[in-house]
Amino acid sequence: MMVEAASSDLYSRAEKAARAIRSHTAAEARIALVLGSGLGGFAEEFEDSISLPYREIPGFVSSTAQGHAGSLVIGKVEGIPVLAMQGRVHYYEGYSLEEVTFPIRTFKLLGIDTLILTNAAGGVDVELSQGALMVISDHLNLMGANPLRGPNDERFGPRFPDMSEVYSRELQELAIEEARSLGVTLRRGIYAGLAGPSYETPAEIHMLRAFGADAVGMSTVPEAIVARHMGMKVLGISCITNMAAGISETPINHDEVMETGQRVRETFTQLLRRVIAKAPQ
């Protein structure tokens, strides 16, 4: 009985959050975005937009990370209704993975079936240069935890969801095709998600390369797992904002991450606009 109560409580809280968001808009969005470090400015370009601070949405927790505005923006891109998290919350901020992924649960109950996850990441593959974009083909969950641990509510998804295609191949192809039309190289790669908040050591990066990782970061993986648990199509795109420890001799700092995100913002937003316009509805 306790297990059932806990799982149904999550569902009811997500329903409450969805009702709160619906009270501010009549638009029926099918696409949601999570905008990572330095990339939140895209939401400021939405047409007919409104912005809801996370603190005003029941169940949402506030972002404390630099470069994450902590607002849900509702609007249109190329005339298509969308929702966007202008910044995310992270496991390293001290939140549980249930809190980190709660917005994704809410999106599903709002009718969202396509989720676009963006992030700032460190380059592990030496062929990825600073400022490059990478579409995520798969991930390594090295956070030491799984957001599906604990009671499972079948209304969200099955107890043991298949993860053989977390990131939609169809959406990967679309993103690569649209990047090509912009004259931008968008290669596929594997994203390794670690807990943070410390950056990785050179030894850890050496290990990640041996594991097959191309990029590394501190987000995205829990959101993608929860989205697939609920049957959502997921597209992940990383902006390589710095080269990982041991690849670059320069110490890593968050200001560099933010600066690179700003530098590639125009290219990134053009790509997102094209993907949203052509994504299956």
Which candidate in 242, 243, 244, 245 is catalytic?
242
The answer to whether the beta carbons of residues 57 and 21 sit under 8 Å apart is yes
Which candidate in 68, 143, 191, 232 is catalytic?
68
The answer to whether the beta carbons of residues 29 and 110 sit under 8 Å apart is yes
CATH number of the structural domain spanning residue 55: 3.40.50.1580
The answer to whether the beta carbons of residues 115 and 233 sit under 8 Å apart is yes
The answer to whether the beta carbons of residues 171 and 114 sit under 8 Å apart is yes
The answer to whether the beta carbons of residues 217 and 166 sit under 8 Å apart is no
Q: What is the pLDDT of residue 2?
A: 42
Which candidate in 120, 143, 192, 244 is catalytic?
120
List the pLDDT tens digit at each of the 281 positions of the chain. Answer: 344 445 569 999 999 999 999 998 877 899 999 998 778 889 999 999 999 999 999 999 987 765 557 899 999 999 999 999 998 999 999 999 999 999 999 999 999 999 999 999 999 998 888 889 999 999 999 999 999 999 999 999 999 999 999 999 999 999 999 999 999 999 999 999 999 999 999 999 999 999 999 999 999 999 999 999 999 999 999 999 887 777 766 666 666 666 666 667 889 999 999 999 999 87
Phi, psi values for residue 51, rounded to 5°: -125, 130
3-state secondary structure of 106: helix
219 is an active site residue:
yes
Domain count, the chain: 1
Which candidate in 32, 219, 232, 245 is catalytic?
219
11 is an active site residue:
no
- DSSP secondary structure letters along 47-64: EEEEEEEGGGSTT-----
Which candidate in 24, 27, 44, 92 is catalytic?
92
Strand partners, 83: 32, 74
3-state secondary structure of 66: coil
Range of the domain at 94: 2-278
170 is an active site residue:
no
Q: What is the pLDDT of residue 257?
A: 61
37 is an active site residue:
yes
- The H or E element spanning position 236 is strand 233-243
- Express the helix, strand and coil content of the chain in percent, nearest 5 each: 35, 25, 40
The answer to whether the beta carbons of residues 36 and 88 sit under 8 Å apart is yes
- The H or E element spanning position 259 is helix 254-263
The first and second tokens of residue 82, run together, are 């969308």
Q: Which residue has 């649209």 as its token pair?
A: 178
Q: What is the pLDDT of residue 126?
A: 85
Q: What is the pLDDT of residue 135?
A: 98
Q: What is the pLDDT of residue 3?
A: 45
Q: How far apart are the first and last CA of the chain?
A: 39
90 is an active site residue:
yes
- What is the DSSP pairing of strand 133-142 with strand 80-86? unpaired
Q: What is the pLDDT of residue 38?
A: 75
Which candidate in 90, 139, 223, 243 is catalytic?
90
- Among 87, 109, 116, CA closest to 100: 87
Q: What is the pLDDT of residue 20?
A: 96
218 is an active site residue:
yes
229 is an active site residue:
no
Which candidate in 14, 65, 91, 93 is catalytic?
93
Which candidate in 37, 141, 152, 238 is catalytic?
37
The answer to whether the beta carbons of residues 91 and 143 sit under 8 Å apart is yes
CA angle 66, 67, 68 (to 5 degrees): 95
23 is an active site residue:
no
Instruction: Say how many residues make up the chain.
Output: 281
Q: What is the pLDDT of residue 67?
A: 54
